[in-house]
Amino acid sequence: MKNLYLLFAALFAVSCGNSADPESTAQSPEPEATYTVVEQDLKILKDVFNANQGRVRLLFLSGPTCGICLRGMADLNDAFLSEQQNDDRLVTFVVHVPTMGAKEKHVAETIPLLSGPRIHHYWEDSGIIGQHFSEVMEVDTYVWDFWTIYGPDVVWEGLLPPKPDYYEHQLGVTSGASRSFPKNRVLDADRFATKTLDVVKTIDGSTLSATAPGSPETANLLGDGTEISVVGQPRNVAVRQHIMLRGGYKNLKRIRNVVATGHLESGDQRFGLNIVSTRPNGIHRELNIDGQVSTAGLSDGGVFVDSNVDRGIPAAMEKQLLASFEFDGMIVEWPGKGHEVSMSGMRKFDDILAWRLELRQNSGPVWYLYVDSHSGDLIEKRMLDENGEPALIIQQSDFREVDGFRFPFRTEYVDRDGQSIAVETLNAVTIDVEPFDVEGETVSH
C-alpha cells in the first residue's frame, strides 16, 4: 500500500495535459471494416437489394457523425441483429449519408456498432437517397436517421427505392411542416425487432441459397469498446440530457445537501462510509474501520485528508478528487467555473453507447466524461495525465432515482493498468431540498 501511495503522489503532482486516445492498453487487432461506395444512380445498392429477394431486408439511412443515428444502430444491434447473424432469412443494408459534416473517412469506425456477415455498409456521397425517400414517403423533410423493413416479395424496380412495409425514424416532427413523420413511429429498438422477426418467421429458409448474395466476408466486429472520434451534435445535446434526466436545472438548484451512507472496499479492507455534500461546494467523507474514524473533505478552507490512517485509497488521489469536486456535478457547473467542455466523440460500453465530453477544469485536470446517450447518466470519468492517457478511471453504475434525482449507488476507482483500487457501494441517499421553486433567472448554466 505504501508504494501505491507514493505512485499516486508522483502521478497527481504532474499537471494534466492535452487529450488523446482514451484507451490506455493495446487492443487486439479487429477484422477489417469494409463498406461500398454507391454512386448517385444507386445501382449497386439496388442490385444487391433485389438479389436478396425472398429474404427480409432491412434498409437503414444513417449518418456516420450523427450520434443519435449511431445510437439507433447500436440499439438495433443489441436488441436483435447481433443474435440473428446465422439466420439466412434476414439481410441488412446500412447507407451512410453526408449529413452533419460527415465524410467517407468517418464511415469505417462506425461499422463495429452494427456488423456481421449479413450486414452491408455503404457510403452515398451525394445524399440523393435521402431526397428519394422524401419523395417516396411524401414528407417535407430530408429523410435520414430512417429505419425500414421490406418483406421478401418487394422488388426495387425504378429509380426510386420502394416504399417500405414498415418504418421508424428519429427525425422528430418539423414545426410547420404539412407532411412529416408521426411521433408514434420514433425508433424503438425492441418494437422494431418484434416487427422484423414477425416477418422473418413467415419465410421458409430451405428455399434460399446457402449465403445471402453480396454478403461481406469479414467476421463480426465487436461493438464493445468502439470509439467514435467525431460526432456532429453540439455539447449541449449531452449536457442537457444529463441535467434534465437528473431532475432538471431548477430542481438541482433546490438541493441544499445530500447525505449518502454505505461502505468502501479496498483489497481485504472494508470501511463504513458516510458522505455529506453541502451547497455551494462542500463535501465531507468519513470512513470507519474497527472503530477508528478518519475524515477528508473540501470546504472554504480547502482540501483536507486524514493521512494518519489508511483510508483504503491513496491520499494523493483522494486530495485530487476532492479538489475537483463540484456540488451539482462536473458538467452542470462548468460555465460559472470557467471550465471548457467540448463534445469529442462517443464510446460503446457493453450495451451503452455514451457521449464523450472533454472537460478542462479551471484547477488544471483534463477529463473525459462519458454520458449514457439514453439515460444521461455519467457512467465513467477518466482523468488524463500529461500525455493524454487515463491516469485514473472512475466507473459509476447502479443508478437509482431518489426523490426525482438520479444517483450512482456504485463507484469503482480503477488505475491506469485496469486494476481496481477501491469500490464504493451506497446503501441509502437522503436529499434535503428547498421547499419552494427556484426562479428561472437564478439558475445558472
Q: What is the pLDDT of residues 91-147, one digit of tens each?
A: 999 999 999 999 999 999 999 999 988 999 999 999 999 999 999 999 999 999 999
pLDDT of residue 273: 97
DSSP string, 222-259: P-TT-EE----S-HHHHHHHHHHTTT-HHHHHHEEEEE
- Letter string b/e over residues 49-88, b meaning 16 or more CB atoms within 10 A of that residue's CB: beebebbbbbbbbbbbbbbbbbbbbbbbbbbbbbebbebb
pLDDT of residue 177: 54
pLDDT of residue 206: 83
pLDDT of residue 335: 66
pLDDT of residue 435: 81
Number of helical (H) and strand (E) elements in the chain, helices listed first: 9, 19
pLDDT of residue 175: 52
Of the candidates 57, 49, 66, the residue with the CA atom closest to the CA atom of residue 84: 57
Tell me the three state secondary structure of residue 136: helix
pLDDT of residue 5: 38
pLDDT of residue 333: 67
pLDDT of residue 122: 97
Tell me the three state secondary structure of residue 193: helix
pLDDT of residue 431: 95
Percent of the chain residues topping a pLDDT of 90? 66
Residue ranges in the chain whose pLDDT is less than 70 = 1-33, 173-178, 210, 215-219, 333-336, 436-445
Q: What is the pLDDT of residues 328-350, one digit of tens each?
A: 888 876 666 778 899 999 999 99
Q: What is the pLDDT of residues 298-311, one digit of tens each?
A: 998 899 999 788 89
Which domains does the chain show, CATH number per domain?
2-22+235-442 (2.50.20.10), 36-221 (3.40.30.10)
